[in-house]
Amino acid sequence: MSYTGPDFDPPQPRRPRRGPLTVALAALVPGALLGWVVYEAVGGGGPGGEDRTASPAPAPRTSAVSSSPSSPSALTASPGDDGKADHGRKDDDGGSASAPARPNASGPLKGKVVVVDPGHNPGNFQHTAEINRPVDIGTNRKECDTTGTSTNGGYTEARFTLDVAHRLRTLLEEQGATVKLTRDGDSPSWGPCVDERARIGNTAHADAAVSIHADGSAQGNRGFHVILPGSVHAGAADTRAIVGPSHDLGVRIAGNFVRETGEPPSNYIGEGTGLVTRTDLGGLNLSTVPKVFIECGNMRDTKDSALLTSGAWRQKAAQGISEGIVSFLRES
């Protein structure tokens, strides 16, 4: 997502320069945390935050990234094309894209429904009047959608999110799930609005819903974070029933994502946990099914953008998200 609309938080200020001892200690902490995260993601540990103008609620200190054991078998899929229907096209790395899979009648996720929400739309840039129209998100009114962000080289968030969504759909369908996308290559030229994105998951009675994004913060800010719904009961929004299962879903996705991709938890939001709780997002506030957002990385950081523009890395991202969903659904 970009920082030019209701979907984004402003980058947090850089911390002042520290003395040598503090710097040395600070250098050790992320490595230790990341090692612990990976340990938790593979089952070594015990049980175990769209609109960004407002500051997010701090992530609970007890919500460090962890995960229950992921599905036992590694999933594979052919790379898909960016932002278009993935029938026999080529991705950015020249990989051949396969047609979408069909649910495996005997797969472990047979009967489960997953809604995948690729953030934004390539046409939003040409439809500013439509996407700026306020919609009700329960707590207040926010813009229908935003344009999203892009890398400095022009690779847009909307293309990134749809490509990962196609890969994720293939992986989940191989496990037997029924997968619905909120937008696809043949979608309307803008939107859907954030309230409609939530409604799609609700109408499908999804067992899990995941909104895929990439951030648009400052250079040097990097890493992923998963946004969890906070408890909201106002107007049309009532998340009280989904806060618990959404937290479980988010923790499992975060743990598997870091294990599959090697991408560290965000160094600028979430206090190193990779988890952030929010109560100002229409896509979460209006959901009646377990749902989380994942910001896969920062498109404006050169290290992260090199990963986000790689088809091979996007496959790993889809793999990590898929394994988190599979883990959640097999336990639910």
Do 248 and 242 meet the contact criterion of CB atoms below 8 Å apart? no
- DSSP assigned state of 315: H
**Which structural domains are found in the chain, ordered by start?**
20-331 (3.40.630.40)
Q: What is the mean pLDDT of residues 53-60?
A: 37
Mean of all residue pLDDT scores within the chain: 78
Distance from C-alpha of 164 to C-alpha of 266, rounded to nearest angstrom: 19
Q: CA quadruple 127, 10, 280, 258: dihedral positive or negative?
A: positive
Distance from C-alpha of 158 to C-alpha of 82, rounded to nearest angstrom: 9
Residue in 40, 196, 295, 323 annotated catalytic:
295
> Tens of pLDDT along 106-149?
789 999 999 999 999 999 999 999 999 999 999 999 999 999 99
Q: Which of 307, 290, 217 is nearest to 251 (CA)?
A: 290
List b or e across 229-265, with b for residues whose CB sees 16 or more CB atoms inside 10 angstroms.
bbebeeeebbbeebbebbbbbbbbbbbbbbbbbebbb
Distance from C-alpha of 42 to C-alpha of 297, rounded to nearest angstrom: 22
pTM of the model: 0.74
- 130 carries an active-site annotation: no
Lowest-pLDDT range of 11-20, 65-74, 287-296: 65-74
Distance from C-alpha of 293 to C-alpha of 32, rounded to nearest angstrom: 25
Do 50 and 211 meet the contact criterion of CB atoms below 8 Å apart? yes
> Tens of pLDDT along 199-257?
999 999 999 999 999 999 999 999 999 999 999 999 999 999 999 999 999 999 999 99
pLDDT band at 100 (very low <50, low <70, confident <90, very high): low
The answer to whether the bond into 47 is cis (omega within 30° of 0) is: no
According to DSSP H, which parts of 4-115 are helical?
A: 20-41
Q: Is 199 exposed, middle or buried (0-12, 13-18, 19+ CB in 10 A)?
A: middle
